[in-house]
Chain A
């Protein structure tokens, strides 16, 4: 064991242990660590906001003479009127600007890259000569996508052969969720290992 003498490593390790102590019981160390984290995160976010406002808005306006940027600077300040009930309606101007741009770019991006490109990628040959595995996979892909899309059709009553297709769709959805959950488990364990590396490796020097 080779315990670190770096005070920053001690802070990281003790903070991690304080957070983990909440597993057993809520306690003052956990509360303190939690509030330190939230306060630090909020302070850090404010710093990044200040940087962006200065670099993107204030400096181009004051140093380069781009006075039109007063408009987004004012719209940005108006966002904060939501804290005052009498004038909170002014924040709608800023929100509607953000939403307007967002929806404008989303329509094209979603249509092009999610709808058209994905539909195009689904149009694969149902028979691939000399490759049974690719044939099998392509058939599952094409009919599977149709089956899952049918499964999500709730506006009409589903009966007859279409009902069998929706059952296939549901099975495929269960597999999809199972795959997602498996990956979630793996991802979360990775996070745990990262913290243990800080405590065992960097702090206690066990590896």
Chain B
């Protein structure tokens, strides 16, 4: 009984690693249902027209990237396929190179930097920077990540503030993120705000969604997997869902085992 309660941690780690590794190499093919929130976000992106301009705010870093970067990849792919132009800014210090990771494949495909997308780099200052940026895009960013003057970027012509974008998509890994955009820009300028959120932050962002302050929300890696299916291009996010399922079952198993041992030990102690 005490073995079950106080199992060597390393056994648990190996068990977990093995069980999530197997479906990565040999997928099980568990069907994935599409959540209504993902469908709404997909429909919003699909309704955009070629030439429309969208702003991505990349607010995550490498430590949370595996949960949310697949969302940015697939949503950007959808928009690039539709001919929508995407400006990307970040308020996280590691963000600029994450943006470069996103746009490099499209440059190699023949899309043009400055016309189809632009990397506005990192702007320090958190919530204050978001406030200033939302009200004066060019004046706050001043230059793009590759050193060009923003007045020379074709896709940013006539852009003054966040309202000049069809929508603003905030990829939220940690603060500053969705809450800061809602507080400082969405409320004041009444912009169309969509959120892609790491799973950890989904519960705390939910009130903004139900109150209508954000128009749509994608949830973590699962949201990316569902979006890949809706786009008809299943990729790495879908491939990881089987492993995700087994990972959950492993955790549930250990919770149940630990509690069974706990109750049996309590019962023995009473005797």
Contacts and interface: CB of A to CB of B under 8 A. Distances in A.
A102 B243 contact: no
A176 B206 CA distance: 11
Contact of A109 (B63, B66, B127, B236): B127
Nearest to B180: A109
Interface residues of B, number: 57
A180 B202 CA distance: 8
Contact of B211 (A48, A117, A186, A207): A117
Contacts of A143: none
B93 A45 contact: yes
Interface string A20-45: 00011000000000000000010011
A66 B147 CA distance: 20
Interface stretch (B17-25, B38-46, B80-88, B159-167): B17-25
B251 interface: yes
Contacts of B211: 117-118, 120-121
A49 interface: yes
B128 A189 contact: no
Interface stretch (B50-58, B99-107, B181-189, B259-267): B181-189
Given A186-B220, A201-B24, A207-B25, 16 more contacts: A24-B13, A56-B142, A109-B127, A109-B183, A117-B213, A121-B212, A180-B200, A180-B203, A184-B199, A186-B221, A187-B200, A190-B66, A191-B63, A193-B221, A194-B65, A200-B24
Interface of B: 9-10, 13, 17, 20-21, 24-25, 63-67, 69, 93-94, 96, 121-124, 126-128, 131, 142-143, 179-180, 182-184, 186-188, 198-200, 202-204, 207, 210-213, 220-222, 236, 239-240, 243-244, 247-248, 251
